[in-house]
Amino acid sequence: MVARATSMRTGVRKGAGPRAPALMWSSDHWVGQFFSMASLCEVLIEDVEERIAREMLVAIAECAWQIEARYSRYRSGNLVHRINTANGAPVELDEEAANLIDFAARLTQLSGGAFDITCGILRKAWTFDGSDRVPTRSQVDELLPFIGWDKVRWQRPILQLRPGMQIDFGGIGKEYAVDRAAALADALAPNVSCLVNFGGDIAVRHPRRDGKPWCIGIEACDAEAEHVGTIRLRSGAVATSGDSKRFLLKDGKRYSHVLDARTGWPVENAPRSVTVLADTCTQAGTFATLALLAGADARSFLEAQRLEFWLQG
């Protein structure tokens, strides 16, 4: 079986809550599936007792659902909702949330401000549904005063946004969830090889006992091709960022969903897709995102990191 490294987001119908994950046997390993974070999530587990495989799958699914419930911008009553509706009041964060904020701030610094968790408000202007509905310059410009990490007061553990500003963990949350889930599976069943795949972001903690690799297909941006390569992974992580499913197309010009927070507009001359292999999913996702934000310099950026990567477009 080939797990897909892809930027695809498989949508869950509106209003659907978590449902019991499904477990099945496939040739020489277990396959578990469930929905979370607007993605089809998959768990591959080497040959162990069904009881152990099911326990691992349920724990991984619950981990994903808990992180989604806590950090999704689409949920009311959670931490992100409390921050985004504070209307300028300070909010005290716990250690996990504070660590995510510190990580996001570091990404902003590394990207020169192109990545910024306060830019989620741009969804008011941009809807990447494959249509030709590109916003006007004025629609984007009126949102820019509410974007910028330099406008945020962050003195750990107190976070204070200006009125009207919002944060969005969407750019880092799924990779974090993959690493958390992989660590949880390892704690439940040490030395059992388990591949965690949340919508194409993947982590494996250690090799299979039979020596076989997990095979990960890199989905092609071209609809006529199934995939452009296969990664044989024994341990490590893979993350993919791209616009194959989220874009706008107007007058022959394609607008990627990867937005530069400094301008509010899509990054120019960025690859269609970037797939990166690294030690952890968080690392892989970080470099894939920074490469996209580098635009035409994506290849040279990744080569400088001495990482294994795949670019399309």
What Cα–Cα distance (Å) separates residue 206 from each residue in 43, 48, 63, 183, 209?
Answer: 14, 15, 20, 11, 9
254 shares a domain with 184? yes
Q: What is the number of domains present in the chain?
A: 2
Q: Choose the final residue of a domain: 144, 171, 198.
A: 171
- pLDDT single digits (tens) 103-152: 999 999 999 999 999 999 999 999 999 999 999 999 999 999 999 999 99
At residue 122, what are phi and psi to the nearest 5 degrees? -65, -15
40 shares a domain with 84? no
Q: Choose the final residue of a domain: 120, 147, 171.
A: 171
190 shares a domain with 55? yes
Structure tokens at 183: 């660590």
63 shares a domain with 205? yes
18 shares a domain with 52? yes
> Is 309 within 8 Å of 291 (Cβ atoms)?
yes
Q: Please report the pLDDT score of residue 14 as a whole number.
A: 32
- Can you give the CATH number for the domain in which 152 is found? 1.10.3980.10
Q: Which amino acid is at 236?
A: G
146 shares a domain with 18? no
223 shares a domain with 246? yes
49 shares a domain with 84? no
185 shares a domain with 252? yes
The conformational region for residue 183 under phi > 0 = left, psi -120 to 50 = alpha, else beta, is alpha
SS3 call for 282: helix
The stretches in the chain having pLDDT less than 50 are 1-17
Q: Please report the pLDDT score of residue 203 as a whole number.
A: 98
- Can you give the CATH number for the domain in which 232 is found? 3.10.520.10
Q: Please report the pLDDT score of residue 2 as a whole number.
A: 43
Domain that holds residue 126: 79-171
d(CA 275, CA 241): 7
259 shares a domain with 292? yes
179 shares a domain with 167? no
Q: Please report the pLDDT score of residue 12 as a whole number.
A: 30
Q: Please report the pLDDT score of residue 226 as a whole number.
A: 65
Q: Choose the final residue of a domain: 143, 171, 199.
A: 171
